[in-house]
Amino acid sequence: MQILGIGILTWIVFLPIVAMIFVLLVPKGRETWIKWISVVATGLQVILAAVLLLNYRYDLAGVNTLEGFQFVEKYRWIDVSGVAWFGRIVIDYFLGVDGLSMPMVVLTALISFIGAIASWELPKTKGYYALYLLLDTGMMGVFVALDFFLFYIFWEVMLLPMYFLIGIWGGPRREYAAIKFFIYTLLGSVLMLLVMIGLYFSTSIIDPVTGEKVHTFNMLAMMDPKNYEPGSIFSGLHTTWRYIAYIALFIGFAIKVPIVPFHTWLPDAHVEAPTPISVILAGVLLKMGTYGMLRISFPIFPDGMIKYALPMAILGFINIVYGALAAMAQEDFKKLIAYSSISHMGYVVLGMAALNTQGVTGAIMQMFNHGTITAMLFLIVGVLYDRAHTRGLYEFGGLANQMPKYFGIVIIAFFAALGLPGLSGFISEAFVFLGAFQTYKWIAIFSATGVIITAGYILWTTQRLFFGQLPERWKNLPDINARELVTLVPLAIIVIFLGVYPSPLINLMNTSVNHLVKFVSEMGQAGMQLGILP
């Protein structure tokens, strides 16, 4: 599918960059133009995402088959002819979507659009929006790239804008938070880089044009054991090097999720980042970690996945319970939401570790739903902070009467986060537990305590904020305004809609998830049956 001769995925990825160039060209004193350019560009992204959805074929699986991918664009990017001692180097510009990435593309477009609106009041507009749009391109690119090299470039392109967005527009400890974020994620991505290079030297495919053997960064080729060169570092199944590579990749992605004990950057980054950046961070960036596992770690290292599924499930459990307990202890509203994010991402990890249709479906649904719910939560914190200039939970009380419309929205988001039936959070958590219970009964049972603790801190927070006596100093707090409602209401609608009728989301990923689960478990088991593993 093409628009003006350029593929639709290229449009959706590079539209923000085009907008960024326009933003940079806007003359001084025209800040409103900048805002409108950015909002229109991200709005167009949402429209493009909708076009993708309308043309999406639900019967195609993707994952490891080229035919299963949709809207594929594949062009030669780097082509270095071979020499006597080293073969040809080929890197493709290779984009495509399947059921794993489609929900994420929609989510990214949506959250970026809402973030752009929520950024309206921030100072230093030009720099802010330029970086914001660059970040947007990076995020979108990660979700549609099918070439590992391209994936890596997009992954890294996000780092610098994020550093600046937290570091310049953030709160009092922004410098510390920004550098911590940067160093943690860079550490994760260099591990990924090494594995990527190792995979490159291990896989080779026959070039269809010339018929010669070339190494490749093509993810789909890396998923096929036939393409591994005998004797190369990652050849075979269930080898030590493959396990090490799986763990290195896992750590790289785990830092982004974040999985305990790699989570310490997240509370700092969230608390210091400005509201829209927190929204992006929680709504999209965290999902890159889990998406990376589904897209890269699982199908490329199914043996490692099977081998380390149990530790992964335990990590998921720790995330759920630890995140919830830590959230319970917070006095800062935003920090509480940050820890609740860790807890909720734990469900994703648990669902993926279960490696069955329900679990993985639940995980991807949770990725999407957590994206919308946490985005709401951070926007809600932002609304309160903009008015009161404090986030101390104990400083509030009785806001329900003071800000009734705000209260209404907050209750939807809170109950969705808590997992109340009828709202989207419930469905995904239920699926995760359904899946996890089949594979890891006890872990699932223990993890369910997380739901109770979540209910505890959410209800307690509601009480601290909205009930009781309204302190004198907040008597003049205005209620939520129209622009803030514009950002929150669409998300609330999605949360309610998917809570009542989740089928559209499930159908979107169903074929791919089934295929992924089947592929990974068969491949992972294969080595064991052959007796390669003791």
Partner 1 sequence: MEERFIIELTQSLKNFLPEVSLTVTLSLVILLDLIFGRRFKNIGAFVSLAGLVVTLFFTIKQYGGSYQIFRGMFVVDPYSTFFKFVFLLSAFVIVIFSLQSYELRETSARRRIGEYYFFILSLTLGAFLMAGSVNLIMMYLSLELVSISSYILAGYIKESERSSEASMKYVIYGALSSGLMIYGISLVYGLTGELNIYAINASFLSSGYSPIVLMISLVLILAGFGYKISAVPFHYWTPDVYEGAPITVTAFLSVSSKAAGFAMLVRFLKASFIDRTITLGIEGAWAVIQGLPLTEIVAVLSALTMTVGNIIAIWQNNLKRMLAYSSIAHAGYILMGVVVMQNLGISAMLIYFLAYLFMNLGAFYCVMLVAEKTGSEDIEVYKGLGYRAPFLSIVFTIFLVSLTGIPPTFGFIGKLYLFSALINAKVIWLAVVGVLNSVVSLYYYIRVVRNMFLGDPESGKEPINFSPAHIVVMLILVIPTLLFGVYFTPIVNFAQISVAMFGLR
Interaction site with partner 1 (CB under 8 A): 77-81, 83-86, 89, 152-153, 156-157, 159-160, 163-164, 167-168, 174-175, 178-179, 182-183, 186-187, 190-191, 193-194, 197-198, 200-201, 233
Angstrom distances, CA of residue 326 to CA of 14, 280, 286, 456, 463 = 39, 22, 18, 12, 18
Which token pair is 454? Answer: 């979540």
Q: Residue 130 or residue 432: which is nearer to partner 1 going by CB? A: 130
Which amino acid appears at position 472 of this protein? E
Beta strand 6-7 pairing with 70-80 = unpaired
Is-contact 222 144, C-beta < 8 A?
A: no
C-alpha gyration radius of the chain = 23
Q: CA angle, 142 as apex, 139 and 148 as ends, to 5°?
A: 155
CB of 23 to partner 1, least distance (A): 14
Q: Residue 127 or residue 456: which is nearer to partner 1 going by CB? A: 127
Q: Residue 182 or residue 262: which is nearer to partner 1 going by CB? A: 182
CB of 285 to partner 1, least distance (A): 17
Q: Which helix (H) or strand (E) holds 412?
A: helix 404-418
CA distance 114 to 106: 12
Among 401, 410, 361, smallest CA distance to 512 is for: 361
Q: Residue 66 or residue 194: which is nearer to partner 1 going by CB? A: 194
Q: Residue 47 or residue 80: which is nearer to partner 1 going by CB? A: 80
What DSSP string describes 134-163? Answer: HHHHHHHHHHHB-BHHHHHHHHHHTHHHHH
Which token pair is 7? Answer: 């593929």
CB of 497 to partner 1, least distance (A): 39
Q: Residue 190 or residue 532: which is nearer to partner 1 going by CB? A: 190
CB of 334 to partner 1, least distance (A): 20
CB of 206 to partner 1, least distance (A): 20
Q: Residue 157 or residue 326: which is nearer to partner 1 going by CB? A: 157
CB of 412 to partner 1, least distance (A): 37
Q: What is the DSSP letter of 306?
A: H
CB of 125 to partner 1, least distance (A): 14
Angstrom distances, CA of residue 305 to CA of 191, 201, 301, 313 = 17, 21, 6, 11
Is-contact 115 148, C-beta < 8 A?
A: no
Q: Residue 248 or residue 294: which is nearer to partner 1 going by CB? A: 248
CB of 87 to partner 1, least distance (A): 10
